[in-house]
Structure 1
């Protein structure tokens, strides 16, 4: 075999190795998707079982913000209690908490299943970018959710504080779970702002000068989002959500400008 023929064979082998999904048929893709999905579902089910067995400490952690606020409300003459209505109210609450906790506990595994399914279709540079974004998204998401958990006492105190004195406030377990999850989810999603901006810049949809020019409008939009997304209407809770988002936007803007300077320097060096 000639040198040119040998080079072509090696090139074809290397290309197939770099893009294994290119050799897969549509049926193979469906089988791979089913295999990954089954693994993810099994992991979520196991996580739910573990959460069910560890329900007592999870419940204590979940209702801790409410328990911390009760004495403060009692000083204001407001008697509040967390109750479970109906015969199956407590069971439904434990099941929902276990499902959510199982989803979170198994997240490293099912996220890896998504990653393992998508990665073979990406090029080397795309793999590095996706891995970097995934490594950044997870800590930001958890940090945002934790910050939302820390805000819960303030939100509960504000909303329950509207109950007239010498009146009793009964909060069902389902309402409390929905409220707390919404608060934590809003803060967790808001924490993804810098990742979204950097991704848009990488795709060539925004630039550093555009971000600087649009900064006043984006900050206004952040405060509008905070006012709509937070269940409370008080300015303190809104500011607690909007202020970190503004800081994260500034960080993302700085990252974009640094990337552009590096890209310009590399272009000048190549010339």
Structure 2
């Protein structure tokens, strides 16, 4: 007897897509997805704990680039030193770095689990655009994080020189790691802003011309977001983040114009007409004259009476 590996019946994806999956089955699938996503994060956390020290060496690069961060150790050699205020600060910093690395290492698994739960509810073209947006989002976030890394170096130099204590100041390790990671995440999220505009354009909510008309509001909100959310009080980091967001906005508008031209938008019948504008009507005045004479209606003959049907007993003979 030949063995076959063909799956019997529809898969979970097909059941969720055609709506045949019950509510309890949806809940069970969500539980399984969350379980495997948690396993991936825990496994990534273990890997991140192993790589936390090399990652810390990279994160302390902007701090160690300052001359005020170096001092003589017990052996008489110059070393980049931090200040620790609590006995558990170093362990907490390592666990925090391990968690961030765990999310990055386990991202392919937990992102797949999230996508596998959401994708059945999307149409085929929506899945295609979702693949494209996810493929663009990761490089944009990485570019923002890399830019933030260099911004921290210049921002720290400005902060240290402009403080009341002057340049020779050492930082507390936990506060420094919080500062650096916040800057990395903030710049990464800020670089995702053009994707939101492209989603509005692809969904047909806003055309490229409409997006371009928002340029004053977008630039103002970019600078306001950079000023409020950025932990760097210096003007360098805030200005650079707002400038990058504004530049990415105009890039997104350009892509929206190209997509509108590809889809033939802007050639509709009522395109360019304001919503409150009155529709132009061709008015040809005609003189008012007397109406046509109405003929007298003819009388309708009364209907002929209908013959009353015979009883059932008298309709048929013995043969029928």
Q: Normalising to structure 1: TM-score of the pair? A: 0.83
Query: CA 1:214–1:225 in 2, change beyond 3 Å: closer, same or farther?
Result: same
C-alpha separation between the residues in 2 aligned to 1:48 and 1:99? 5
Question: Once structures 1 and 2 are overlaid, which stretch shifts more, 257-266 or 198-207?
Answer: 257-266
Query: CA 1:166–1:17 in 2, change beyond 3 Å: closer, same or farther?
Result: closer
| Residues 219-247 of structure 1, C-alpha deviations (whole Å, 9 max, x = no match) | 12212222222222333222211121111
Query: CA 1:61–1:196 in 2, change beyond 3 Å: closer, same or farther?
Result: same
Q: 1:134 maps to what in 2? A: 134
Q: 1:69 maps to what in 2? A: 66
Q: 1:250 maps to what in 2? A: 250
SS in structure 2 at match of 1:206: coil
Q: 1:238 maps to what in 2? A: 238
Q: 2:228 maps to what in 1? A: 228
Residue ranges of structure 2 left out of the alignment (5+ in a row): 1-9, 72-79, 269-320
| Residues 105-132 of structure 1, C-alpha deviations (whole Å, 9 max, x = no match) | 2112111111111112211111111111
- How many residue pairs match? The answer is 249
Question: Once structures 1 and 2 are overlaid, which stretch shifts more, 80-89 or 234-243?
Answer: 80-89
Runs of 4+ in 1 over 6 A off after TM superposition: 265-268
C-alpha separation between the residues in 2 aligned to 1:71 and 1:167? 6
* Pair 1:41-2:38 in alignment: yes
C-alpha separation between the residues in 2 aligned to 1:255 and 1:185? 25
C-alpha separation between the residues in 2 aligned to 1:100 and 1:171? 22
* Pair 1:175-2:175 in alignment: yes
Q: Normalising to structure 2: TM-score of the pair? A: 0.71
Deviation at residue 65 of structure 1 after TM alignment: 1.1
CA RMSD of aligned residues (A): 2.6
SS in structure 2 at match of 1:169: coil
C-alpha separation between the residues in 1 aligned to 2:64 and 2:122? 49
Q: 1:95 maps to what in 2? A: 95
Deviation at residue 179 of structure 1 after TM alignment: 0.6
* Pair 1:157-2:157 in alignment: yes
Deviation at residue 160 of structure 1 after TM alignment: 2.3
C-alpha separation between the residues in 1 aligned to 2:23 and 2:251? 42
Deviation at residue 30 of structure 1 after TM alignment: 1.0
Q: Answer 1 or 2: higher relative contact order, Cα 8 Å, separation at least 6.
A: 1
Deviation at residue 265 of structure 1 after TM alignment: 7.3
Query: Which residue of the other structure, out of 17, 21, 26, is the alignment partner of 1:20?
Result: 17
Retained in 1: the 8 A contact 2:64–2:70? no
Higher helix share: 1
